[in-house]
Structure 1
């Protein structure tokens, strides 16, 4: 028997209290946000059912849900729409990613502005699109010229974004220099010790880079972003970049922690040099084009992922109250294409199934019925767990003095 509140509390016990309180507050807002923030609880619940099902091994992003698809600029400087969060990445049966995504559609129906029956229809649309691409054995990539509907609108919009506008949104001027905007929503102040640690790291990192001046630090803050990872060690860093003030760059430095899926998997995993190497390696395997500037690094024996923050990073707004159901369906279909393509692209690597094995798997029908049935069961469980959480939260179980 799983005790929802103690499980959540135990999982988050090492998180930084200030940002952890933000996470707990966010989780109270909706079952969809709760789902996003409790990947560990989700897989603890569903693991026995998944172990009873047969599926080929694939590289999985681990935390696949509606909010973990989006735009970014690749290392070829073009914007793409793809999977974008690999913190939980592992080698696992393909169902492990699929069930979380399908559940997110059902749990997120209200957030999507659609009813439960339409949400069930979207589940089928996703699986149909996923199965079609998997059966073809050919991976696709989604860029502006190959996209449609809301995804095309997003990629067209982000292509026009300027770095200086992005910087103006995240920073402010003090004299002639930019400083990170400490607003309590995206950034919090750092301690002198934290600033010293980050600046020392950047100086050492720059020594092995072609343009050492690029990484000269201007300012550092603690970053507020995401849901599940809120409270891990994370910084936003303003660096010299290609010149001040409008060619400065913002970097994200995020601690990499073990995957939440690991305790529940029977699948042997590669021996990674670090958790950050796991995340970055799988991300580069699964994405159509690698995100620009992505590095696994180590600071004081802790593993971190260093990357650039881009003006082109964004998500499609899936809201049935402002977009037609047809438009939402097209986005879900694109997501099916993206997932199947990522699995095909990373096939045959360190134990993952080959493309031929994935094609053979796609011909089956029983797994689709099993996943649809299991996703409905999972959605009911998530909603029940959220209600349990809300009651405890309202009674002060997750208050500051309990952390």
Structure 2
């Protein structure tokens, strides 16, 4: 397998400037590589012959340690849950679990944490997942019962003032806000892009109860994530409830096919487009849907519009080695979030019902199979990262053209 060719092919047609950033991120460390090559992970898993019998469930599709975080729901309260559904699909639960467990190995071992510690955490992850599934009733993480870093994230978001949030992302010009374009979180747009995004948001607003809320004040290209770097994505500053201190920030992101869904084409129900798939599965799996989540059309392509969700609201597992006390109970909470999301979305368009999931939780053999597959997958990901790194260092991954 020529993994470099596969990666280049999977990223064809993306914005060169942000794609160059993605390739640098993939080169940076094995965990970034794992995050940014979901398609390759599932290719490798299929080629390994992985075939663990498991109920078909709605999956996040790209489950790893940093695809959990805090967010404000559409009821404006703060929650902690799975928070990325770009790769969402209907698939056997075992495939979702292998990716998450492999991310534990890759993420922690890249920090120099001993293999046996990561192995023990994977065992805890699968045990806690099975326990939550066996209960047969979905719940959610309450702020008052959360511990460690999860509690800190919930407190941080709850206490964040809108003015402070806006001040970190915008600048005031004669009492009107404009987006900060810093090359780190945002890049400039062309006049044509600005006009097109404004027209898309205005068309969406026309069907909403308060169209003036969505009046566009500024637009920038957004830099966020790893796997999706290079797809069309914008930060949109809107009027909200009043300028300058009650403006709102939105994320407008292009939707593409699911890498996991491609592996299980025969299981997938019909969706109007990929944006409806992403938003629809997110609404099913989350306890409370993230604020302002809507599928829209932009330039004839499917996009998801939602309230801007900063990367700072995700669990920073890179601090696990230096501050392990912050992650007390975190693995158990992640496992429960996965089980609850599967129970919550059970019975929808081919997904297993709760009784099937409870029966699966009571079996033991699959845990060992998933743990072994995750360990093998993590070693393969490390080998693939080394091969990619050598190719990157040899100049085989195109950089952004000058002035891009």
> Does the Cα contact within 8 Å between 1:214 and 1:239 map onto a contact in 2?
yes
> Does the Cα contact within 8 Å between 1:137 and 1:359 map onto a contact in 2?
yes
1:57 CA drift (Å): 0.2
Structure 2 match to 1:255: 254
1:322 CA drift (Å): 3.2
C-alpha distance in structure 2 between counterparts of 1:266 and 1:241, whole Å: 40
Misfit runs of 4+, over 4 Å: 48-51, 310-313
Structure 2 match to 1:358: 357
Local SS of the residue matching 2:75: coil
C-alpha distance in structure 2 between counterparts of 1:232 and 1:53, whole Å: 33
Structure 2 match to 1:73: 72
Structure 1 match to 2:226: 227
Local SS of the residue matching 1:222: strand
1:316 CA drift (Å): 2.6
> Does the Cα contact within 8 Å between 1:140 and 1:288 map onto a contact in 2?
yes
C-alpha distance in structure 2 between counterparts of 1:320 and 1:215, whole Å: 40
1:113 CA drift (Å): 5.7
CA distance 1:236–1:50, change in 2 (3 Å): farther
Structure 1 match to 2:124: 125
What per-residue deviation string (whole Å, max 9, x for no partner) do you get for residues 75-120 of structure 1?
Answer: 1221111000000000000011101000000001145562211111
CA distance 1:76–1:113, change in 2 (3 Å): farther
C-alpha distance in structure 1 between counterparts of 2:281 and 2:298, whole Å: 21
> Does the Cα contact within 8 Å between 1:163 and 1:311 map onto a contact in 2?
no
CA distance 1:317–1:30, change in 2 (3 Å): same
1:49 CA drift (Å): 4.4
Matched, 1:269 2:265: no
CA distance 1:345–1:127, change in 2 (3 Å): same
Matched, 1:322 2:322: yes
C-alpha distance in structure 2 between counterparts of 1:81 and 1:112, whole Å: 25
Structure 1 match to 2:345: 346
Matched, 1:290 2:289: yes
CA distance 1:337–1:401, change in 2 (3 Å): closer
CA distance 1:100–1:201, change in 2 (3 Å): same
1:174 CA drift (Å): 2.2
Normalised by the size of structure 2, how large is the TM-score?
A: 0.96
C-alpha distance in structure 2 between counterparts of 1:330 and 1:230, whole Å: 31
Local SS of the residue matching 2:152: helix
C-alpha distance in structure 2 between counterparts of 1:266 and 1:254, whole Å: 24
1:232 CA drift (Å): 0.5
Local SS of the residue matching 1:142: coil
User: What is the count of residue pairs matched by the alignment?
Assistant: 401
> Does the Cα contact within 8 Å between 2:296 and 2:303 map onto a contact in 1?
yes
What per-residue deviation string (whole Å, max 9, x for no partner) do you get for residues 140-177 of structure 1?
Answer: 10120232222122212221001111111111122221
Alignment of 1:58-207 (within 5 A): 58-111=57-110, 114-207=113-206
Matched, 1:397 2:392: no
> Does the Cα contact within 8 Å between 2:88 and 2:261 map onto a contact in 1?
no
> Does the Cα contact within 8 Å between 1:71 and 1:312 map onto a contact in 2?
no
- Structure 2 residue ranges without an equivalent (≥5): none
C-alpha distance in structure 2 between counterparts of 1:268 and 1:328, whole Å: 36
C-alpha distance in structure 1 between counterparts of 2:316 and 2:32, whole Å: 15
Q: What value does the CA root-mean-square deviation take over the aligned residues?
A: 1.7
C-alpha distance in structure 2 between counterparts of 1:401 and 1:226, whole Å: 18
Normalised by the size of structure 1, how large is the TM-score?
A: 0.96
- Structure 1 residue ranges without an equivalent (≥5): none
